[in-house]
């Protein structure tokens, strides 16, 4: 396998001349023999570029953990996946053959780009660490280092790549003449909070930023105006509308008195009195029945649902068309008591009225305490 890999790494960039055309009598036989090679087009998540990256990195570091942490593959492979792929390339002849065939088909520029990403070996970093941190090395310095140690450095290394890695090593204090400062002795280690406490606030200059203060004042006024606007629109939030899906939340919570549940939406009643009808630009109501379906036959204010102090719900019809409660018509100007699971039908739109029994029981208990015996 590594013999094939070396052939891939050193593959010439000149195109290979086409093979002579087969004789007509052998055409079908040649096609059949080449069919298994089509498997190279589908190697799973591991692309040919990933295999070449893996082989380069392992030959450089001899450590699969370092390869998993340092190499950026096309997918986020786990350490176990990296290990299994490496062992498959070593010991599985089918996978090894397919991977080598796929790597041979890579473009020379793609191979060069992959080789430029090879990890640095310990021998390479040891040679780079001998370049002094106080010196100002140039590209000629690293080019001379490449000429003096051709066997130690990877074949795709350039002077610019060596200079970039040397600067990275210098940043992390990995050069030979660099030493990491020891931690302060004692139990107390100075952290950011301790350093902040040592600052004398009185010595700091308090620079007033008039532009910033003006912007903060304007933002404060805007927020107060929005709060007043929300307070004025508080009555609009007496009913919450929720679409009904297969994973809908429970009907009741500790603020919902009752629910008017339709086929498409449900209306959560959170105040003692709500209005039903059809919303327009000039008419705002609590329950807009047009959200459930066609509501052009429904009056703009069709009815009112009200909760009495004794815990009973009543619906009053204020529209021109009748409202049907469990099949009984409620005409204009009339009202009817609503029970749990009552079916409310308004102009072919059907709803089920559900009562929060626990919350209504508490309301009735409070009303019983207030009512004199």
DSSP secondary structure string, 248-315?
PPPS--TT--EEEE-SSEEEEE-SSEEEEE---SS---SEEGGGTS--TTS-TEEEEEEE-TTS-EEE
Q: Is 338 helix (H, G, I), strand (E, B) or coil?
A: strand
Does position 358 have pLDDT exceeding 60, yes or no? yes
CA gap 177, 134 in Å, rounded: 9
**% residues pLDDT > 90 (the chain):** 39
> What's the CATH class of domain 258-368?
mainly beta
Does position 14 have pLDDT exceeding 60, yes or no? no
pTM: 0.41
**% residues pLDDT > 70 (the chain):** 78
DSSP secondary structure string, 50-85?
HHHHHHHHHHHH--HHHHHHH---SS---HHHHHHH
Residue 139: CB atoms within 10 Å: 12
HEC string of 156-203 equals CCCHHHHHHHHHHHHHCCCCCCCCCCCCCCCCCCCCHHHHHHCCCHHH
Q: Bigger pLDDT: 53 or 195?
A: 53
Query: pLDDT averaged over the chain?
Result: 82
Does position 64 have pLDDT exceeding 70, yes or no? yes
- At 19-49, the pLDDT tens digits run 444 545 444 454 444 444 444 444 578 999 9
331-345: average pLDDT: 93
Q: Which token pair is 366?
A: 């409070």
- At 229-277, the pLDDT tens digits run 877 766 555 566 666 655 455 667 778 899 999 888 888 888 899 999 9
Residue 251: CB atoms within 10 Å: 14
Q: Which token pair is 206?
A: 């308090």
Return the domain boundaries, the chain.
41-118, 122-172, 258-368
CA gap 286, 256 in Å, rounded: 14
Sheet of 328-330: strand order equals 239-243, 265-269, 258-261, 349-355, 342-346, 323-325, 328-330
Distance of CA 301 to the CA centre of its chain: 45
β-pair type (335-338, 313-317): antiparallel
pLDDT at position 27, please? 46
Residue 50: CB atoms within 10 Å: 20
pLDDT at position 235, please? 56
CA gap 137, 145 in Å, rounded: 11
pLDDT at position 206, please? 67
Nearest partner of 296 among 343, 347, 352, 262, judged by Cα: 347
Burial 105-115 (b: 16+ CB within 10 A, else e): ebeeeebeebb
């Amino acid at each position: 396998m590594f013999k094939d890999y070396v052939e891939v790494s050193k593959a010439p960039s000149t195109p290979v001349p086409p093979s002579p055309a087969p004789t007509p009598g052998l055409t079908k036989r040649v096609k059949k023999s080449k069919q298994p090679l089509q498997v190279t087009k589908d190697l799973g998540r591991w692309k040919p570029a990933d295999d070449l990256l893996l082989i380069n990195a392992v030959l450089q570091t001899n450590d699969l953990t370092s390869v998993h942490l340092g190499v950026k593959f096309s997918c986020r492979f786990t350490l176990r996946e990296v290990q299994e792929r490496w062992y498959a390339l070593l010991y599985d002849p089918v996978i090894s053959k397919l991977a080598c065939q796929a790597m041979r088909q890579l473009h020379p520029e793609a191979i060069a780009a992959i080789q430029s990403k090879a990890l640095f070996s310990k021998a390479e970093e040891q040679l780079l660490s001998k370049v002094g941190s106080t010196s100002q090395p140039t590209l000629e310095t690293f080019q001379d280092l490449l000429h003096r140690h051709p066997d130690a450095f990877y074949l795709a290394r350039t002077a610019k790549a060596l200079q970039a890695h040397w600067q990275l090593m210098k940043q992390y204090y990995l050069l030979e003449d660099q030493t990491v400062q020891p931690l302060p002795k004692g139990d107390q280690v100075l952290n950011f909070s301790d350093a902040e406490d040592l600052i004398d606030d009185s010595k700091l200059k308090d620079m007033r930023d008039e532009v910033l203060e003006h912007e903060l004042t304007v933002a404060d006024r805007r927020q107060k105006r929005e709060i007043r606007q929300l307070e004025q629109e508080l009555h609009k939030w007496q009913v919450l509308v929720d679409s009904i899906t297969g994973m809908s939340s429970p009907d009741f919570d500790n603020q919902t008195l009752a629910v008017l549940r339709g086929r498409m939406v449900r209306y959560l009643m959170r105040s003692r009195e709500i209005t039903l009808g059809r919303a327009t630009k000039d008419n705002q109501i609590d329950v807009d029945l047009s959200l459930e379906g066609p509501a052009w036959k429904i009056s703009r204010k069709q009815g009112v649902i009200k909760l009495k102090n004794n815990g009973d719900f009543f619906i009053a019809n204020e529209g021109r068309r009748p409202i049907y409660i469990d099949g009984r018509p409620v005409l204009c100007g009339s009202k009817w008591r609503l029970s749990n699971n009552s079916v409310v039908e308004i102009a072919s739109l059907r709803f089920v009225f559900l009562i929060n029994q626990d919350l209504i029981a508490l309301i009735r208990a409070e009303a019983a305490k207030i009512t004199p015996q």
